[in-house]
Structure 1
């Protein structure tokens, strides 16, 4: 009898504790807002699923990026487009200019949108908001407006976006500071990308479906590792040109002194 009384007395408290624990482990279901992001218990108040397909979103991204690249390629092939030696741009230089043109679009427009509207993206159905909700399947930090992503993308949008377009102009106009701009922008991109990967590494890659061929390997890894590999190449290229320029200046100064 004593045991039964104790059980009946404790059972209501135990049931409340068990119920509360279950809700804490499943805040998405408790909030009534199912979503496709990781971790699965992530709480995203007000989330509204995309009504545009992945194919529509990716087609827009790559077609507009391709248009910027094609336009830049045509522009750098014009007769008036000449390098510092009065010669036409080589293939590598033309591709580098195309890269900065595409960066101007991605940083300024797409990442610029995130920097302005990150707080309403989960519930917003504008096309660029849906693009970010789709990309967030590879990194859910964007759909919850993680502090690092907001700060990093804001700097990228408002500094490296305009600076990328300035770099395009500097090369087309053969400005003497063109390689300085290339070095500055590439260093900024590299630093941001390294922090992007490193912060997620410290979180145990918990914001994506680890190993998924599309969301992890393509969205998270491939689409971001480009901002490590290409800036590294461009940093070395700028280093080489600036070193040559300084060597030439030093020799000229030595000849004057002699």
Structure 2
């Protein structure tokens, strides 16, 4: 039985049982996007009202909540994608982005009511505080380290 040709390198790599993809990339993406939209919509309808019990400002469309969520969606969302790119490519500005995004997330977490404080804010949202704090701490140290190295390099050049 002859093995199907594969698109991987090296071309002479033996892949027993390899089966070429039968769906087009647009078909795969369409199914994925439709499934994702369905799941997000289902979760929203099932749990959105429950979350609003913990913070009634989400139900009443409080202007502060709309502002914070607007910033999160319009600025922090795309900045997060840029940060993923910067981290993957080893760009120097990745730490500045991580710090800014984490501080924005921490600011958003501070705006909550006390009704379901422990179950919703601490229990469900604890990770939204802990992880940005850890990333902020790490990014701050990396930025300070880079700044200190830059000052040392400049001082060495002046001495010579």
TM-score in terms of structure 2 length = 0.66
Q: Partners in 1 of 2:79 and 2:146 — Cα distance?
A: 22
Contact 1:132 1:143 in 2 (8 A): no
Aligned to 1:247: 148
CA RMSD of aligned residues (A): 2.4
**Structure (1 or 2) with the larger CA radius of gyration:** 1
For residues 191 and 147 of structure 1, the distance between their equivalents in structure 2, rounded to whole angstroms, comes to 15
Separation in structure 1 between the aligned mates of residue 137 and residue 88 of structure 2, nearest angstrom: 20
- 1:129 offset after TM fit, Å? 4.1
Q: 3-state DSSP class of the match of 1:137?
A: helix
State the alpha-carbon separation in 2 of the partners of residues 138 and 248 from structure 1.
46
1:138 Cα offset (Å): 2.2
Q: Is the 8 A contact 1:170 1:177 kept in 2?
A: yes
Give the match for residue 150 of structure 1.
66
**Contact 1:139 1:220 (C-alpha < 8 Å) held by counterparts:** no
Structure 1: distance between partners of 2:146 and 2:88: 19
1:136 counterpart SS class: helix
1:193 partnered with 2:94: no
Structure 1 consecutive aligned stretches of length 4 or more whose deviation exceeds 3 Å? none
Distance 1:186 1:235 in 2: 6
Cα distance per residue 1:46-81 (max 9 Å; x no partner): xxxxxxxxxxxxxxxxxxxxxxxxxxxxxxxxxxxx
Q: Is the contact made by 1:167 and 1:181 (CA closer than 8 Å) also made in structure 2? A: yes
Aligned residues: 121
Tell me whether 1:161 sits opposite 2:77 in the alignment: yes
Structure 2: state its 5+ residue gaps.
1-35
Tell me how far 1:128 sits from its aligned partner: 5.2
Offset at residue 242 of structure 1 (A): 0.9
* Partner secondary structure for residue 60 of structure 2: coil
The superposition leaves residues 166-203 of structure 1 with CA deviations (integer Å, 9 ceiling, x where unpaired) of 11111001111111111111111112212x13xx2xxx
TM-score with structure 1 length normalisation?
A: 0.42
